[in-house]
Structure formats: C-alpha cells, structure tokens
Structure 1
Amino acid sequence: MITKKTSRLLGAAVVAAAVVAGVAACSGSGSGSSGSAGGTYTFWDPYPQFDASADWTKLVEQCGTDAGVTVKRTGYDTSDLTNKALLAGQQGNSPDLLLVDNPVVSTLAEAGILTTTSENKLDTSDIQKNILAAGQLDGKTYGVPIGANTLALYYNKAVLSAAGVDASSITDWSTLTDALGKVTAAGKKGITFSAIGTEEGSFQFLPWFWGSGANLTKLDSDKAEKALTLWTDWLKKGYAPNSVINNTQTTSWQEFATGDYAFGENGTWQLGNVKKAGIDYGILSIPAMDGGAAPAPTGGEFMTIPVQKDTARYATSKKIAECLTSTKSFVKTDTTLSYIAPTEAAQKEQVAANPELKPWVDAVAAAKGRTSDDLGTKYPKISKELWTAVQNALSGSQSPADALKAAQTAAAAATK
C-alpha cells in the first residue's frame, strides 16, 4: 500500500535522479544506519574522499565529543546519498544529521523528511540571504549552509598582456568579446568552459543566462536567446573551442591549465590547481551583459536535521550541527574544502588568512541558488531542458531561438 508520504517519497526519488551536483565537491560510497540509543549519532555526508584520518572526519568526531556523544560518519556519492536519504526517510530510520548538496534540500523537504529550522532551532540569522535561499522552500528554511562556492573567470595575465588586453577593461559582454578577438588575433586561444549535457553544463551557463536578465521560468525569452547566442557566436568565431560541448569542469580546467587560453570559467575549487600549473593568473567576476557582476550559481552543502521518531534527539543533533557551523569550524572546514564561508565574520577571517580569496568572497556575494525563485523541485526538470538547449545550439542542430523554444515547451510540460 502506498501512503501519501510514501507517494511523495517515490516521486521525490524520481526528481532526485535528475539532480547531479554541478560543483566540484564531494561524492562517495559507504553505509549507515539511523541514529541509535546509547550515545551514538549518525551523520551522512557526500565526502567519501575523507577517511578516518582526514581533518573533516576529526572535526565531525570532535563535535560529537563536545556534545557528549559518539558520531558515526558515513560518506556517500552525491546522487546515491539523495536516494539513500529518501529511502531511509520512507523507512523511518533517517540519520540524525544529513549534509547534502544545496539543490537536493528542496527535494528532501518536499518529501517531508527534514525538520525546519523553526522546529530544530538552528540559528540562520548571520547567514548571507542569497546563500541561505538555496535551502528554502515555500517560505521555510531546512538547514544551514556550511559554505559556498561559485564560478568566476580565471585569466592568464601573460596571454592578455601579449594581446594588449587590460583585464580591468573587461566589464561586460562586449568588452569581453573584444578581448577574445584580440587574443585569438595574437595567436592564442580565447575562453574555455563546460557546456556538457549534464547539470555541470547548466551550472556553467547560468551566469550568462542570469547575466542577461533571463529567468528560469521562461527559457525562451529574448534575453535568454542573447545569452545562448553569445556562446554560439564564440564557437563560430573560434573564440571558444568545440570541445566545450563535451567538457566537464575538470576537462575545461585542463585546457586552461595548458597556458594557451586567456580565460577559463571555473570555481574556487581550482585555486590549488592554478598554482600547481604555474600560471600567473587573476580572477574576474563573470560580467553581466550590460556590466556589473552576473549572478553565478551557488554550490555547496547544507547541514540538515532529518525527522526522527524520537524527537528528544534533536537537541543533541542541534549541538553537533552548531559546532560544525560555528565561525571557527566554518573557517577551518571551508578553507579545507575551498569553500567561502556563508557568514561575514568567517569570510573576514578567511580573507585575512588568504587575501587571494577576496574575489571569491565578492563572487559568492553576487551568487544565486539554483532552486531560488521558489523553483524548488522544479529546478532539475528545467535544468535538463536548459542544458539540452545549450547542446543543440552549440552543435548547430538548432538555432538558439529554436533550441530555447523547444526547451521552454518541454520544461513547462514537465513542471505542471
């Protein structure tokens, strides 16, 4: 027999299958069980790369010790974590704490397996509103972000200098396109990015989409067409390589790391790699069409407290969550994960320790949650049609206008 709650969970599982993290963070495998009595609390996260010796694991365990309990941590692959969380919620044995990629929060909230911050009493007053928005649905907040990452443009100072381009002159799409023309005329390569037919492709296109003033509820607007035309024109002119159609964010980065490209669209998580590449680099916010910084999508995870049969457990879960989201932990954790902290106080400490993070703090301040604008669980369905439109336009199988018109028709049908 399928109960109303079970029906919601099964439907959410279908949506969850379409949610793939568009950021460089975090996936893995493992097993876990619901929180059990006797001082043991369970914690699931999407960081399987961290074993028992990792700083992250030690921090989680220490926060448990500080709360007077033992924390049993398990890491899962990002998509696997979502499905396991939905199944555990259906079976009534959710973990005590659950750390999930921000677009997944609305899926789990709609399924009815997360407590709200008004219920679990987690404080969100100091969290930047644009970062917190990714964990909100129907006016309720379902967790606390542990940090955020986003996209910007890395640029190669040597390539720009050889082409006679001053990075500070790049303020909008027109000046960026002019710079790409000068770079390619000088014998170098222009810009590389990821336009693959997955969430990564949507993630990388969104700054240009939003930077045009377009809205995800109307994929075929004139503004959206301008954004997609920008990318298709770059390919036609040779300013961007045809490889972007299949590029992940990793392969796109590998192209930039050759030193031949003027620009590479990528995230905070590449800071360590750019130094290893030995490139004399700078960071630019992705420009909006008419100037200013375009809203880039936020990546990162939310600390949530799932619904428990024994509601008395929430008090201790809250203590553990508060420890993991304190300013001290934000700075330690977010620096390790290449995240920008979600509070001003922690951001100041990060920049004081590493001034190179300042452009990323600015980028995160202008960023936007993918499930914002009350999209919630509609976002994955819209995103799928958006990345399909990008693929069709860049491959030349459809014009930007036709590709987006087809995308809007499909998205409208999928989100009824």
Structure 2
Amino acid sequence: MNSSARQRRLTAAALTALAVTVTASACSSGSGSTGTESAGSGTYTVWDPYPQFDKTSAWAKLLDRCGTKAGVKIKRTAFDTSDLGNKTLLAAQQGNSPDVLVVDNPVVSTLAEAGVLTTTDDNKLDTSKVDPNLLAAGQSRGKTYGTPIGANTLALYYNKKVLKQAGVDIASVKDWKSLTAALHKAKKAGKKGITFSAIGTEEGSFQFLPWFWGAGAELTELDSAQAVSALSLWKDWLKNGYAPDSVLNNTQTTSWQEFASGDYAFAENGTWQLANAEKAGLDYGVLPVPGTRGGSAAAPTGGEFVTIPAQKDTARYTTSQKLTACLTSTANLYDTDTTLSYVAPTGEVQDKQVAAKPELKPWVEAVKAAKGRTSDDLGTKYPKISEQLWKAVQSALSGAKSPKDALTSAQAAAE
C-alpha cells in the first residue's frame, strides 16, 4: 500500500479504538527510511513497551546482538504500553514509522486495519511454529500481522494452607459447581473465598472473559443465556460472601495484594505475579480457570507481537525480517520469555520452559487454551464490546441491574 493511501486510513476512528483498547498490561526520530543509506546497512529503529529495561538489560543487549547479526545498528525507544499505539499511529501519519514494532497484541488489529503494518505475506516472516490460538490475536481479515514474542494469561492461584484448613482437596475442583463448593467450605472455616478484578476498565473485562468464554458465550452476543450464567456466577459469589465487594474497584494488583495476605483460598491472576508469589512466601498452587462443566476455560492472551510497520522504502523489510526472526528464534524466545515471565508461543520452547521449571506446566496448559481478545475477526470492534461488557459487570455486581438486564443493555449499546 502506498504512503498516501495509508495516511487516508489513519482516521479518528482508529485513534478512538486504540485509546479504548490499550491499557496498562519518550519519542524517537523514526526509522530514517527516507534517508540515503542502503536498506541493508545503517541504523534500524525498534520501538517496544518495555521502559523498565534500560540499555544494560538482557532485552536491550539482545536487540543489539540481533542488529549486529543483521549488519545494522539498532536505535531503540521504549514507551509505556498506553502511549505506544498512539505514537505509532502518529508516526505513520508523518511517514516516520519504526522498522520493528513490539506492541500489545490487542492493538495489532487496530494498527493493521489503519494500514500501519505489513502482512507476513509482505515481509516473509515465518510463523509456522507458533501456536494457532496465539497467532490469531495478530490476524485480521484473513491476514497475519507479525508474530508473538510470548504470552501470558489468567489462571487461579490457590493457597494450599487455606484449602487444607477448609478440608478442600484441590483435585475435586473441576468445574464451577465444585469451585463454588470449595469457596463455601473456605468461608465456613473462617477464611475468605476468592478475589479478582471487576474494575470498570479493560482489566475488568480481561478478568471476566475466562468465565464468559468458559460458559460458552461469544463476544458477538453479550446477552446470551451463557453470558448471563457467567455474570450470575460472580454476582452469587458476592451475594454469598465468597468474594469481597472490593472486587468492584480492584485492579489486578490490588486483587493480588488481597490474596498475598494469606486469607484467601483462590485468586484469579496472571503469570506476571509468579515472582510476587515466591516473594510472599505462600504455599501456593495454580489451576487453569475451569469451564462451567469442566475442562480449561479459554482465558484471554496477554503479551506482545513483533511487527514490521509499512515503509516507503520496501527494501528495508528484508533486514527488518532478519531482526524479527532473530528476536523470536527458539534460543532467544526462551531467554526473553523467562525475563518477561511469559509462556513461549511455540511448543518447542514451552517444553524447554517446563523442563527447566515444572511449576510452569499449568500456565502452559492455560496458554494453550487461551484466546485472543480480538480473535474471531473482531478487530476494532472489540474495544466497544469490551467497554459494554465491563459496564455490565459493574452494573450487575453493584446491584444496579440484574445480570440479564445489564447484559441486555450492553448488547444493545455494542450494536
């Protein structure tokens, strides 16, 4: 696609969709692609959402190594996740896109539909080893835009000491009925049941989705009987005192802090809390979120995609492809995903992770069952749907509306 056509597609609608999609999980001079240097040499720019990693970090050193291997220098700029998408849209409008962009996976379809990213057909990225359910988060209208660098998702942490005191055998927790029975026993033993985040933001939708999908609901029909059953489950937990009223305002961080107090039997949270779990000294285990009738529910995937933005000088794609292939090679994925507390996007690296750290096995199982929020070709429709979903959750849990009425209103607004 030529530059002027791309710029026509960078609409206010794309900016609005991006602003709603991006949540919390400096500006560069761009690629220099309009300069006179050869496409196979010189400086290539990389933008990423990892400001916590400075130039001495393993991530920054990996970028430099991949640049050296490709025969170019790397100019890296790190942004907060919430800024990166909008900065990328602005750079594309100005014809100043980075050569390689590492971006939160729900943003990929928005950037793709705005004409900012190249497809794997254009840039020749090999995604054949990537798990299809993870790759789907970077697909739109039958095209693939980049490759995942890793994934995180949600599961249930459980406190072994609390469950023992409550007389709960974790092997008995296989579906919603048995989970609710475990919460009842925990409360009866003087402990607390489960904590999660139901805040009125994308985090609230993110945490509700495993239960929504675990009921068999679809994001295109927010008011289905299955969706109502999922929201009724959460509502009943609050009504019966199995979950605290604080979930209405809990972020995933504050929800974790509640669990770390040692009083809760369960907490819904992500792989990113593993280090905190070790630090808290809890005797904990991890269980994939169960579906309503058993099995692992699909939880939403977090994590980033490595993408190649569109350039005027298409000859640059060859080197950008080399950089991306290096960053997502088997050896480098293992090191990077260990640093980021991610599950790798390929079976080969997942096996290596579990062999080195067996406690990652339930997380690998959860990731294998996970689903992209923009999958099912929702693309830029997802942000609007998600906003109505979290509003429905808030409305039902606060008592303003019944779960059925809240979701009926959400579906009407989403349409």
Normalization by structure 1: what TM-score? 0.96
Q: 2:14 aligns with which of 12, 26, 49?
A: 12
Matched, 1:280 2:277: no
User: C-alpha offsets along residues 298-319 of structure 1, whole Å, 9 cap, x if unaligned?
Assistant: 0000000001111111111111
Per the alignment, residue 106 of structure 2 pairs with: 103
Per the alignment, residue 177 of structure 1 pairs with: 180
* Structure 1: 4+ residue segments shifted above 3 A: 3-7, 29-32, 35-38
Q: CA contact under 8 A between 2:296 and 2:369: conserved in structure 1?
A: yes
Q: 1:342 aligns with which of 325, 337, 345?
A: 345
Is the deviation greater in 74-83 or in 204-213?
Answer: 74-83
Matched, 1:396 2:399: yes
SS in 1 for 2:10: helix
Matched, 1:156 2:159: yes
User: C-alpha offsets along residues 196-233 of structure 1, whole Å, 9 cap, x if unaligned?
Assistant: 01110000000000000000000001110000000011
Distance in 1 separating the partners of 2:222 and 2:7? 32
Q: CA RMSD in A?
A: 1.1
Per the alignment, residue 35 of structure 1 pairs with: 32
Please show how residues 236-247 of structure 1 align to structure 2 within 5 Å: 236-247=239-250
SS in 1 for 2:294: coil
Paired amino acid for 1:105: V
Q: CA contact under 8 A between 1:32 and 1:74: conserved in structure 2?
A: no
Per the alignment, residue 144 of structure 1 pairs with: 147
Per the alignment, residue 360 of structure 1 pairs with: 363
Distance in 1 separating the partners of 2:82 and 2:9? 18
Please show how residues 47-86 of structure 1 align to structure 2 within 5 Å: 47-86=50-89
Paired amino acid for 2:299: A
User: C-alpha offsets along residues 375-398 of structure 1, whole Å, 9 cap, x if unaligned?
Assistant: 011001100000000001111111
User: C-alpha offsets along residues 125-163 of structure 1, whole Å, 9 cap, x if unaligned?
Assistant: 000000000000000000000000000000000000000
**Shift of residue 32, structure 1, vs aligned partner:** 4.0
Q: CA contact under 8 A between 1:256 and 1:264: conserved in structure 2?
A: yes
SS in 2 for 1:253: helix
Is the deviation greater in 331-340 or in 49-58?
Answer: 49-58
SS in 2 for 1:18: helix
Q: CA contact under 8 A between 1:252 and 1:264: conserved in structure 2?
A: yes
**Shift of residue 35, structure 1, vs aligned partner:** 3.5
Per the alignment, residue 201 of structure 1 pairs with: 204
Per the alignment, residue 266 of structure 2 pairs with: 263
- The percent identity for this pair of structures is 69
Matched, 1:124 2:121: no
Per the alignment, residue 308 of structure 1 pairs with: 311
Per the alignment, residue 373 of structure 1 pairs with: 376
**Shift of residue 20, structure 1, vs aligned partner:** 2.3
**Shift of residue 81, structure 1, vs aligned partner:** 0.6
Q: 2:387 aligns with which of 367, 378, 384?
A: 384
SS in 1 for 2:266: strand
Distance in 1 separating the partners of 2:373 and 2:400? 27
SS in 1 for 2:386: helix
Paired amino acid for 2:368: A
Per the alignment, residue 21 of structure 1 pairs with: 23
Matched, 1:94 2:92: no
Paired amino acid for 1:20: V
Paired amino acid for 1:212: A
Distance in 2 separating the partners of 1:384 and 1:255? 25
Q: 2:412 aligns with which of 400, 403, 409?
A: 409
Distance in 1 separating the partners of 2:364 and 2:190? 34
SS in 2 for 1:94: coil
**Shift of residue 5, structure 1, vs aligned partner:** 4.1
Normalization by structure 2: what TM-score? 0.96
Q: CA contact under 8 A between 2:7 and 2:92: conserved in structure 1?
A: no
Distance in 1 separating the partners of 2:187 and 2:79? 43
Paired amino acid for 2:410: A
Unaligned runs of 5+ in 1: 24-28
Paired amino acid for 1:143: G
**Shift of residue 34, structure 1, vs aligned partner:** 2.5
Q: CA contact under 8 A between 2:31 and 2:43: conserved in structure 1?
A: no
User: C-alpha offsets along residues 29-85 of structure 1, whole Å, 9 cap, x if unaligned?
Assistant: 443422353610000011111111111111111111111110111011112110010
Residues 22 and 200 (structure 1), Cα distance of their counterparts in 2 relative to 1, 3 Å cut: farther
Paired amino acid for 1:229: S
Unaligned runs of 5+ in 2: none
Q: CA contact under 8 A between 1:78 and 1:101: conserved in structure 2?
A: yes
Residues 5 and 118 (structure 1), Cα distance of their counterparts in 2 relative to 1, 3 Å cut: closer
Distance in 2 separating the partners of 1:375 and 1:79? 21
